[in-house]
Amino acid sequence: MFIIISGPSGSGKTPLLYRMMEIYPNIKKIQSYTTRQSRKTEVRGTYVYMTKAQFEQKIKENFFLEFNKVHKDQEYYGTGRASYEKVIKNGQVAIKDIDVDSYKMIKQNKDLDIVGIYVTVKRRSVLFDRLRERGESERTIRLRLFDRVDYENKQSCFYDYVVYTDKFENASNELEKIIDKEFKKRGIVVKKNEKREFTRPLF
């Protein structure tokens, strides 16, 4: 099983991903790679950073399960193939946050048991506020949100579920119920971590 979470910048997809990993001991994150610059508020280990030359060399080596250029700044993002194969080989459940275009491409791979979850907010202004709160420049906000939000939200029809993250705890509870449902369908049994002392930043 491969849980894929997508959504606009600031929607909370990465915090939700880490929250699910804290709840479910059998869910493991697939390594992400990018050519963009790191953020000061970013959780350590969220990405492996590469130059464009390094990334393009890895493409030639078939290193990525999927990759794509994202946003108007055209920075590369990709999913490590070896990381995914290791998780599946160990009988665990893979989880990854990727953009909508990458999701549509990877969804075509019929060998992958994908559960697609799209996360967004009901009020666009929430996204702008969150990006400003985490220190993004106005230029970056324009690149990531103007026009892009509407485009991404229209792609939600390609996903199995849509979760609204205006209130993070409500979204977390809803996503937990979705995963429980999908685990039950596949006969996956896991003892969840009931000690809910979460330390990851929300957005």
17-68 pLDDT per residue, tens: 999 999 999 999 999 899 988 776 666 667 899 999 999 999 999 999 999 8
- The C-alpha angle with vertex 4 and arms to 8 and 144, in degrees rounded to 5, equals 15
Q: How far is 42 from 137, CA to CA, in rounded Å?
A: 15
User: H-helix or E-strand containing 77?
Assistant: strand 75-80
- Write out residues in the chain with pLDDT < 70, as ranges: 40-45, 71-73, 135, 143-147, 195-203
Residue 186 carries which side chain, given as an amino acid letter?
Answer: R
pTM assigned to the model: 0.84
**What was the pLDDT predicted at 129?**
77
Domains in the chain, CATH or no CATH each? 2-186 (3.40.50.300)
**What was the pLDDT predicted at 203?**
47
168 near 202, Cβ under 8 Å? yes
| Lookup: tokens for 182 | 């999908």
User: H-helix or E-strand containing 49?
Assistant: strand 48-49
**What was the pLDDT predicted at 98?**
92
